[in-house]
A and B are shown apart, each in its own frame.
Chain A
Amino acid sequence: MRRQLEGSRAVAEAVRLCRPRVIAAYPITPQTHIVEHLSQMVADGELAAECINTESEFAAASVALGAVAAGARAYTASAAQGLLLMTEVLFNIAGLRLPVVMTCANRAVGAPINIFNDHQDSLSLRDAGWIQLYVESNQEAVDSMIQAYRIAEACELPVMVCMDGFFLTHTFEPVELPEQAQVDAWLPPLRFSRALDPVAPATLGGGSEPDNYLEYRRAQHQALDHAADEIVSTAAAFQSTFGRTHGALIDGYRLDDAERVLITLGSVMGAVRDTVDALRERGERVGALKLRCVRPFPAAGLVHALRGARRVAVLEKAISAGAGGIIAAELRAAMHAAGIALPVDGFVGGLGGRDLTPASIEAVFAASAAAGPAPIGCQFVDVDAADEAARPGE
Chain B
Amino acid sequence: MSRLRFDPGSSTAYRTGDWRRARPIYADRWPPCGAGCPAGEDIQAYLALLQAGREEAAWRKLTEQNPFPAVCGRICPHPCESACNRARVDEAVAIHQVERHLGDLARGRGFAHDRPRAAAAERHVGVVGAGPAGLSCAYQLARVGYRVTIYDAASEPGGTLRWGVPDYRLPKDALLHEVEAILALGVTLRLGVRIGADLSAGELRTRHDAVFTAIGNGLPLVPAEADVTGHGVDSGIAFLRRVNAGERPSLPARVAVIGAGNTAIDVARCARRLGAAEVTIVSPQDRPGHRPGQPAEEMTALPTEIAQAEAEGVRLLLRLGVQRLVRSGEHLDGLQLAYVDHVFDDAGRFRPVLYEGTETFLPADRVIVATGQQPDWSGLDVLQPDPAAGIFAGGDCVGGARTAVAAIGSGHQAAEDVMAYLEGRAPVELGRAATASFDTLHTHYYRRVPRHTSVEADTDERQRDFREVQSGLESVAVAAEAARCLSCGVCMECDNCWHFCPDAAVIKLGPGQRYRFDYEYCKGCGICAAECPTGHIRMEAESGT
Is B543 interfacial (CB-CB < 8 Å)?
no
Which of A95, A156, A202, A215 is the one whose CB lies under 8 Å from B8? A202
Is B109 interfacial (CB-CB < 8 Å)?
no
* Chain B, 1-46, CB within 8 A of any chain A CB: 2-8
Closest-by-CB residue of B relative to A95 is: B4
A216-B8 in contact (CB<8A): no
A215–B7 CA distance with the chains assembled, in angstroms = 18
Residue interface bits B460-496, CB-to-A below 8 A is 1, else 0: 0000000000000000000000000000000000000
A97-B6 in contact (CB<8A): no
A206-B3 in contact (CB<8A): no
A219–B3 CA distance with the chains assembled, in angstroms = 8
Tell me the smallest distance from the CB of A211 to a CB of chain B, in Å.
Answer: 13
B4-A96 in contact (CB<8A): yes
A206–B5 CA distance with the chains assembled, in angstroms = 8
A156-B6 in contact (CB<8A): no
In the complex, chain A residues whose CB is within 8 Å of the CB of B5 = 194, 202-204
In the complex, chain B residues whose CB is within 8 Å of the CB of A95 = 4
Tell me the smallest distance from the CB of B247 to a CB of chain A, in Å.
Answer: 82
Is A201 interfacial (CB-CB < 8 Å)?
yes
Closest-by-CB residue of B relative to A212 is: B1
A216-B6 in contact (CB<8A): no
A194-B3 in contact (CB<8A): yes
* Chain A, 201-242, CB within 8 A of any chain B CB: 201-206, 208, 215-216, 219
Closest-by-CB residue of A relative to B6 is: A203
Tell me the smallest distance from the CB of B182 to a CB of chain A, in Å.
Answer: 61
A219-B2 in contact (CB<8A): yes
In the complex, chain A residues whose CB is within 8 Å of the CB of B2 = 215-216, 219
In the complex, chain A residues whose CB is within 8 Å of the CB of B3 = 96-97, 156, 194, 219
Q: Is the interface of B mostly helix, strand, loop or mixed?
A: loop
A262–B334 CA distance with the chains assembled, in angstroms = 140
A65–B19 CA distance with the chains assembled, in angstroms = 37
Tell me the smallest distance from the CB of B394 to a CB of chain A, in Å.
Answer: 66
A330–B258 CA distance with the chains assembled, in angstroms = 118
Tell me the smallest distance from the CB of B282 to a CB of chain A, in Å.
Answer: 82
Task: Place the interface of chain B in its size category.
Answer: under 10
* Chain A, 265-316, CB within 8 A of any chain B CB: none
Tell me the smallest distance from the CB of B14 to a CB of chain A, in Å.
Answer: 13
A204-B4 in contact (CB<8A): yes
Residue interface bits B106-144, CB-to-A below 8 A is 1, else 0: 000000000000000000000000000000000000000
A206-B4 in contact (CB<8A): yes
B6-A201 in contact (CB<8A): no
Closest-by-CB residue of B relative to A156 is: B3
In the complex, chain B residues whose CB is within 8 Å of the CB of A216 = 2, 4
Which of A96, A202, A215 is the one whose CB lies under 8 Å from B6? A202
In the complex, chain B residues whose CB is within 8 Å of the CB of A204 = 4-6
A204–B6 CA distance with the chains assembled, in angstroms = 7
A216–B5 CA distance with the chains assembled, in angstroms = 11
Residue interface bits A176-218, CB-to-B below 8 A is 1, else 0: 0000000000000000001000000111111010000001100
Tell me the smallest distance from the CB of A163 to a CB of chain B, in Å.
Answer: 29
* Chain A, 43-97, CB within 8 A of any chain B CB: 95-97
Tell me the smallest distance from the CB of A359 to a CB of chain B, in Å.
Answer: 50
In the complex, chain A residues whose CB is within 8 Å of the CB of B8 = 201-203
A149–B50 CA distance with the chains assembled, in angstroms = 67
Tell me the smallest distance from the CB of A248 to a CB of chain B, in Å.
Answer: 25
In the complex, chain A residues whose CB is within 8 Å of the CB of B4 = 95-97, 204-206, 208, 216
In the complex, chain B residues whose CB is within 8 Å of the CB of A201 = 8
In the complex, chain B residues whose CB is within 8 Å of the CB of A208 = 4
* Chain A, 89-126, CB within 8 A of any chain B CB: 95-97
In the complex, chain B residues whose CB is within 8 Å of the CB of A97 = 3-4
A149–B6 CA distance with the chains assembled, in angstroms = 26
Which of A96, A202, A205, A219 is the one whose CB lies under 8 Å from B7? A202
In the complex, chain B residues whose CB is within 8 Å of the CB of A215 = 2
- Of B2, B3, B8, which is in contact with the most chain A CB atoms at under 10 Å from its CB? B3
A194–B5 CA distance with the chains assembled, in angstroms = 8
Closest-by-CB residue of A relative to B9 is: A201
Tell me the smallest distance from the CB of A170 to a CB of chain B, in Å.
Answer: 38
A9–B8 CA distance with the chains assembled, in angstroms = 44
In the complex, chain B residues whose CB is within 8 Å of the CB of A205 = 4
A95–B5 CA distance with the chains assembled, in angstroms = 11
* Chain A, 120-173, CB within 8 A of any chain B CB: 156
Contact sample, A vs B, 10 pairs, CB 8 Å cutoff: A97-B3, A97-B4, A156-B3, A201-B8, A202-B6, A202-B7, A202-B8, A203-B6, A205-B4, A216-B4
Q: Report the 8 A-B pairs with minimum CB-CB distance, sorted nearest first.
A: A219-B2, A203-B6, A97-B3, A201-B8, A206-B6, A202-B5, A194-B5, A205-B4
Query: Which B residues form the contact surface with A (CB < 8 A)?
Result: 2-8
New A-B pairs, 6, CB < 8 Å, besides A156-B3, A194-B3, A203-B6: A95-B4, A202-B7, A203-B8, A205-B4, A208-B4, A216-B4
